[in-house]
Amino acid sequence: MERFGEKLRTLRKRRGMTIRELAAALDYPSHGYIGNLESGRRKPTLEMAFKIATLLNVSVEQLANDALELDE
């Protein structure tokens, strides 16, 4: 799960979203948490991983499993 943040940043940018927009779309009060996820300083809760996967239309496995790449 070391690449979660890298994958999150890639997916967010592909959708043209800012960190603040992503936080708002996830109903999260602070964009700082999303920034910490992207930088690898924090790991997501299982609930947050599911919310992110659903919003960004990927599987939790694609986000969490470092061996799996994101679809183009």
Tens of pLDDT, residue by residue over 8-64, are: 999 999 999 999 999 999 999 989 999 999 999 999 999 999 999 999 999 999 999
What's the CATH number where 38 sits?
1.10.260.40
Burial call 22-58: b when 16+ CB within 10 Å, e when fewer: bbeebeeeebebbbebbeeebebeeebbebbbeebeb
In a domain, 34, yes or no: yes
Total count of domains within the chain:
1
Tens of pLDDT, residue by residue over 7-21, are: 999 999 999 999 999
Instruction: Supply 9's token pair.
Output: 């940043």
What predicted TM-score, i.e. pTM, was given to this entire model? 0.92
